[in-house]
Each structure stands twice: as C-alpha cells, then as structure tokens.
DNA sequence: CGAAAATTTGACATGACTCAACTGGAGTGG
DNA sequence: CCACTCCAGTTGAGTCATGTCAAATTTTCG
C-alpha cells in the first residue's frame, strides 16, 4: 500500500460498484479518516455502540461472539479490502453483540455514524454502494448457513481452505475451528485424516 | 387485508424506514404488481434467474437449498410483511441457488429487475430502504450463525419457538427441523423431552 | 372412510466434544 | 547459548449429541 495515497484501494473498491465523480471522491474522503490498529487491538466491542464502519486497507481482523459460557465463536474474518464491524450496532446505534479484533497490524479507513449519514445525503450513490455490498454479504452468509447443515465438518474445512487459502495461512488453526463451529481438537484430527488420505 | 387496497401493508412497510411523498408512492406502485400464488407453487427456483423480488402481503413461504444428495435445507421462512427471493440471483441476474416455495396461498407484491432498477433512479429513497432492510437481514443471519454454534439443538428449538411462535403454528415440524439443521426424528425426541420437563 | 402425509418410537451407529496429557516451536531472559 | 515459559497444535480415551433406518402411530384431508 502506498503511503502517499492510502485511500487508493478504498476508493477503488467503491468504484467497482458505482461510478464516482472527482467531486464524489472528495466528499467521501472528507468524511473518512485513516487509522492504524496494532495486533490484538479491538476495533469494536460487545456492549458498546459501533461508532464507525471500518474498511481494511491492509491487515486482518476477526469478528466474534462471546457466548454465555464465555466461549468465543468467530463469525467472520476480515482481510484487505473488506468491511468489518457490527452492522446492526452501527445502523441502529445500539450496543453491539460482536467483538471486532485485529489479528495483526491493520491499516484501515473509517467512517463515523454521523459522517456516514451526512455522506448518504451528499453522495446518494453511497446508499447504492452499501446496498449492493451488504446484499452480497447477506447472500454469502445465507449460503453458509445451509452449507453448515448440508456438509460435514471435514467438508466444510476443505471448502474453507479452497475458498480462503490466504486466510488459512494467516490465522491460527484454533480460530478456523471456531469459525467452522468445531473444537480445535476435532479439527486437528480432521487435518490428520486429510494428510493421511493425501499420502495414500 | 383489504381487497380495495392490497398494497397498503406494502407501502406501510417502506414508510416504516423512509419517508415517502404521494408522488413517490405513485412511482413505486406503478413499478409493482400484485400476484396470487397457490399452495406449493414456486416463486423462484434453483438454476433460474430471479426475475422479481417478492413481498408477502399474506401467506407463507419457505426458501430452501437442495444439496448434492437431494436433501432439502430450509434457509428461511417468509410470512406476512417479509421479502423473499434469492437476493444474489436477483441483484446480479445469475442462476439462483435457492428455491422459494409457497406453503399456502400467498398474496404478494412483486417488482421485476428492470422495474427495480428504474425505480432506484425514480425514487432514490428505495436504495436507502433496501440498504436498511438488507442490513437488518444480514445482522440477524450473522447472529444465527453464531447461535447455531453456541447453542444445542434443544436450545435452538426453544429459541425459535419463542421468537417465531406464529411460524411454529403454521409450518410442519419437519420443516422446522430442517431450518434448525436437525432431523425430524431428533426434533421429535426433543419435543418429547420438553413436554415431559414441563409436566414435572 | 381411506390414503397419504406428518410425527413418533426404538435400536443402533457415528460424528463431534471433553478432558487431560503431551509435543514442539517461538520468544525471553539470564 | 541454554533453560524456561508460553502458546498452538496434537493425541487418545471415554462420553454425549445427533444421525440412520425401519416400523408404528397419529393426523390431515379428499
């Protein structure tokens, strides 16, 4: 990522969905700010109101839920060019149910709630942009629900490795287990099975 | 539902999220059409491109996925005042992965892809409306994923009964089992457990 | 009433979890 | 450079939740 123009990938991502004029871009940038988080830092936390939506320029993060027994359940990973944040909390400005934590150093672009609302007025195309990307996100989560029911843990793991090879390399196995909804021990035994099958 | 004004609940639902002028309403209605489906009819089918988005005025429907072994997996139910349809297929006009089938007679309002695109130009507030409701839908599906991992089948069933008592009454148990991701036999044994617990 | 659909039952199988111990790096500090 | 710790990953034994299959029962509805 160029230090000169850290927003390049950010604007490019929006351009991929809607056409922006130079003026639109200026307005968007004037409502955005850049920030760097360190490994382990929280972008957002359960119980707090999500003040910003966050676009990851570089780095990785996880969104997870803490159940009543204190167990973590990873809902999603976010890497370069993804939006992260508790959307329900942000949109309705209510306490979040999800935690968003950086897995390594993250360069991000953020837009606060107030700026976002203003931006929707100034650049209505942003409504369209978010409608489209949230629609895509919804579609992929919908498929994930039925896949979780249709496939075994092993199939889900193989599927995940195929779809997100870059994530598999960057995050520890126990987090992938959490994302898939299995224990780290069970995932470990699945991995053993898989390597043994490959040998034969 | 009044026969005179079948669109009343439809417009009311939009009004709940954005302010509409009389002119907006006219434009929306001129892009919408009313339709009645019979029990068992498909609103949309796997492999076909979703030509419309469908708002249920009255009736109920299910959205399900057919896996490689031919098993059905219900992703969602839709009842009065809900939108149904494969959003990915509709938005990108690609073949659908989900089937949408009416569980009883359904009165619906539909908007075709072409009309929807035109409507976004004529009434930009509709971008906002869909951004908001898709965002809500995404949030609830996200929570469902982690709940599926955090809770046992019994807890999920009790949870479902509490949240959607009207659905539990209207759809057969084996569909609820499919929605929850368990077999009908296992759900049956859970129900037995629950009634026995209540007695004691 | 009779047939089809939905639900229940029970015996058995298995995928996935729990718990506790062990292995093997990757720091860290003396 | 070794000893120590910490953390991720692995192993294995025992258990539990849930699935499978086949049959019986109940409900629905033409």
Q: Can you tell me the distance from the alpha carbon of B180 to that of B167, in angstroms, rounded to the nearest whole number?
A: 13
Helix or strand or coil: residue B20? Answer: coil
Q: Where are the beta strands (DSSP E) in chain B?
A: 33-37, 42-44, 52-58, 61-66, 72-78, 83-84, 99-102, 106-112
> Does B124 lie at the interface with A, CB-CB under 8 angstroms?
yes
Partner residues linked to A66 by β-bridges: A72
C16 nearest neighbour residue (CA to C1'): A186
B184 closest-nt by C1' vs CA: C7
A150 touches chain B (CB under 8 A): yes
| Tokens (6 digits) for B107 | 């009165």
> Which residues is B112 bridged to in the sheet?
B52
Instruction: Give the model's pLDDT for residue B200.
Output: 66
The verdict on A189 touching B (C-beta cutoff 8 Å) is no
pLDDT of residue B3: 47
Question: Distance (Å) from CA B153 to C1' D17?
Answer: 9
Query: Are B87 and A139 in contact (CB < 8 Å)?
Result: yes
Q: Would you state the structure tokens that stand for residue B140, as one six-digit string?
A: 């609830």
* CATH number corresponding to A8-146: 2.60.120.10
What is residue A4's predicted lDDT score, i.e. its pLDDT? 52
Pick the CATH number of B8-130 from 3.50.50.60, 3.40.50.880, 2.30.30.110, 2.60.120.10: 2.60.120.10
Rounded to a whole number of angstroms, the distance from the CA of A183 to the nearest CA of chain B is: 10
Residues B173 and B183: beta-carbon distance below 8 Å: no
Side-by-side strand order, sheet with B33-37: B33-37, B106-112, B52-58, B83-84
Q: What residues in chain A have per-residue pLDDT under 70?
A: 1-4, 199-200
Domain ranges of chain A: 8-146, 151-200
pLDDT at res. B2? 45
Q: How confident is the prediction along chain B (200 residues), in pLDDT tens digits per residue?
A: 444 577 999 999 999 999 999 999 999 999 999 999 999 999 999 999 999 999 999 999 999 999 998 899 999 999 989 999 999 999 999 999 999 999 999 999 999 999 999 999 999 999 999 999 999 999 999 999 999 999 999 999 999 999 999 999 999 999 999 999 999 999 999 999 999 987 76
Calpha distance B69→A173 (Å, rounded): 29
List the beta bridge partners of residue A55.
Answer: A83, A109
Q: How far is A194 from chain B (nearest CA, A)?
A: 21
Asked if A155 and B84 touch (Cβ cutoff 8 Å), the reply is: no
Classified as helix, coil or strand, B46 is: coil
Q: Looking up tokens 């619906």, which residue turns up? A: B108
* Residue A155 CB neighbour total at 10 angstroms: 12
3-state secondary structure chain A: CCCCCCCHHHHHHHHCCCCCCHHHHHHHHHCCEEEEECCCCEEECCCCECCEEEEEEECCEEEEEECCCCCEEEEEEECCCEEECCHHHHHHCCECCCEEEECCCEEEEEEEHHHHHHHHHHCCHHHHHHHHHHHHHHHHHHHHHHHHHHCCHHHHHHHHHHHCHHHHHHCCHHHHHHHHCCCHHHHHHHHHHHHHHHHC
At A2 the pLDDT is 45
Q: ∠ CA(B68), CA(A146), CA(B82), 5° rounding?
A: 125
């Amino acid at each position: 990522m160029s230090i000169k123009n850290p927003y390049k990938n950010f604007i490019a991502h929006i351009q991929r969905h809607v056409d922006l004029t130079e003026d639109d871009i200026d307005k968007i940038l004037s409502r955005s700010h850049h920030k760097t988080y360190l490994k382990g830092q929280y972008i957002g936390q359960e119980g707090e109101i999500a003040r910003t939506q966050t676009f990851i320029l570089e780095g990785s993060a996880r969104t997870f839920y803490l159940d009543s027994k204190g167990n973590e359940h990873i809902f999603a990973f976010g890497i370069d060019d993804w939006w992260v944040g508790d959307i329900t909390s942000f949109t309705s400005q209510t306490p979040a149910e999800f935690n968003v934590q950086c897995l390594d150093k993250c360069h991000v672009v953020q837009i606060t709630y107030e700026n976002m609302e203003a931006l929707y007025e100034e650049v209505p195309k942003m409504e369209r942009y978010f409608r489209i990307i949230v629609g895509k996100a919804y579609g992929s989560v919908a498929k994930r629900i039925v896949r979780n029911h249709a496939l075994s843990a092993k199939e889900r793991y193989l599927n995940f490795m195929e779809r997100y090879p870059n994530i598999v390399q960057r995050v520890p196995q126990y987090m992938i287990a959490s994302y898939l909804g299995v224990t780290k021990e069970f995932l470990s035994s699945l991995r053993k099975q898989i390597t043994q099958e490959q040998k034969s």
